[in-house]
Structure 1
């Protein structure tokens, strides 16, 4: 019944409960009035969340913020509110309930929604910013682990492949003042980029395109949460285009979970089932599987960097 916790987390996030506790604990009746909800039902939701350390119940049916709950506030630095709403959206939630169809060979997301995951978010009338805002929020926390774990060479050109709003590239450029960056994505995504926050427009540029056709020339290629979206065949197409564009001595940095062998728990094994549900052919990979994937694009796995988070850096070079 673990999904009941996820449902409660989404409900409390949608209702903005954490924002109403920013100034201190409040009695459930006050919270219900502030959120325009039923007192008893709201209490039952928060009671469950409190068992996981998200909110804390105090004497007199009063609830207070905990550190995890504090990250649900809209005004908190590195707020995860948008990430929670994205990961509990029906586009993630519903396919997971039908994994048996995937095991039997069906593309679950298309079975439910009539199109692919990316086609869905590109539709008119669907707020695509909800997806990109959620990814950006999740990345704000992850990126600090990734960027501090890699020693970027001076004066290099860094290409963020399908980099979305540019949050990762922005952090790389901020912490490495000699670097220049290229944010490479579809034009409708680039239109909402964040790179202006750097305060130096001479150090970056936008390039619109399709990574299945070609990639810009660069010294360092960032692929965060890209490889796990696609099948081996499609990933090799992307990597071959990068291989053709790579400057001499260039590096490819794949930023995905690297699954441990055997029965070792790892968040990537949960993400692996999520990719099974929402992508056609998507998957997380072990070290051995990355070796095989890269070899298919004339690349060689050079090393795997433990970043201190569940996302590793797989560094690849020309074979």
Structure 2
């Protein structure tokens, strides 16, 4: 009798575990619905429209030029996920999540949502299975070009992408500055430095240093405008170029945030070799990328690695993979610093 009760209890527990697992799988399957809903709301500037207080769905539809009954269903879905909060009378108000999707708040993630969940990524991820079958990255096969050429041909998207990178940098730069001492350096060269906010922060942490912002010509011009009123701009040289052809010489610190992860090992090696050729004696190289954890550890890195496979043909790397890559370029891994962000700091020096 007791055995029968135990069997029934075990069967009941197994059924409950299966039901919980099914709910979790359903959440995973439907996850992209919420992602796309967030992207559309950000594009329509719904969070900005709610900045001054609650508004009803009809008012929001008129302001966003959308169909009111359909917009209400989008807003209700977002409220069910905590992105908005629904009030009586089909009214909606902002939450801490939606406030991060506004244009005018520190740490805004609006441009990131629009970029990462827009056509470039959405269409490319739709072809993930082709990448797994061929090894060719999905963006290339989807759009018949690389992401950087595509963005050059679509300057509005390019501006949103650059703004996204700037906003992500704002969120992460404090963690970078807390983890690493920039004060010993005199010439900091930031490769692929975008709009220059990380370089500005590094120079503020190293008042005696001068900086070089190295990026593509159109990005450098954007950076000049972004930084023109910043005191640190007086210590910044703007150098337009192609890091596959060569980089600014004489730096005693070379930094790259989310650069090497865009590229496979062959291209990453070439970038590092170009640095190795011109770095000052005793110089350091900092690679600001995710450092992949041991298997089965909950971490954002493996998903970002999959995104790199889809979007650029690049990759995130383990510490051992960074060490091998650096060695192949005439450099040596000194240390990996962890930060209070998804980024790690991989520090290297010239090999003897």
Q: Please, what TM-score do these two structures have when normalized by structure 2? A: 0.85
Provide the secondary structure at the position in 2 that maps to 1:10. helix
User: Which residue of 1 is the match for residue 285 of structure 2?
Assistant: 252
Aligned 8 A contact 2:289 2:344 in 1: yes
Residue 219, structure 1, aligned to residue 252, structure 2: yes
User: Which residue of 2 is the match for residue 53 of structure 1?
Assistant: 82
- Unmatched runs of 5 consecutive residues or more in structure 2: 1-29
Q: How do 1:1-40 residues align onto structure 2 when only pairs under 5 Å count?
A: 1-40=30-69
- CA displacement, residues 17-58 of structure 1 (integer Å, 9 cap, x when unaligned): 111111122222332233232222222212222233211223
| Larger CA Rg, structure 1 vs 2 | 2
Residue 112, structure 1, aligned to residue 145, structure 2: no
Residue 311, structure 1, aligned to residue 311, structure 2: no
Provide the secondary structure at the position in 2 that maps to 1:197. coil
Cα distance in structure 2, aligned partners of 1:298 and 1:271:
27
Cα distance in structure 1, aligned partners of 2:213 and 2:196:
6
User: Which residue of 1 is the match for residue 186 of structure 2?
Assistant: 156
Aligned 8 A contact 1:96 1:273 in 2: no
- CA displacement, residues 116-166 of structure 1 (integer Å, 9 cap, x when unaligned): 111111226664212212222222212222123211133511100011221
- CA displacement, residues 185-221 of structure 1 (integer Å, 9 cap, x when unaligned): 1222111113323225431101122211212120111
Q: How do 1:143-222 residues align onto structure 2 when only pairs under 5 Å count?
A: 143-193=173-223, 194-216=226-248, 217-222=250-255
Report the CA distance shift for 1:291/1:15 in structure 2 as closer, same or farther (over 3 A): same
User: Which residue of 1 is the match for residue 315 of structure 2?
Assistant: 283
Q: Please, what TM-score do these two structures have when normalized by structure 1? A: 0.94
CA RMSD of aligned residues (A): 1.7
> Which stretch shifts more, 40-49 or 256-265?
40-49
Aligned residues: 318
Runs of 4+ in 1 over 4 A off after TM superposition: 124-127
> Which stretch shifts more, 283-292 or 132-141?
132-141
Cα distance in structure 2, aligned partners of 1:50 and 1:293:
46
Cα distance in structure 2, aligned partners of 1:52 and 1:237:
45
Cα distance in structure 2, aligned partners of 1:150 and 1:125:
35
- Normalized per residue, the structure richer in helix is 2
Aligned 8 A contact 1:195 1:204 in 2: no
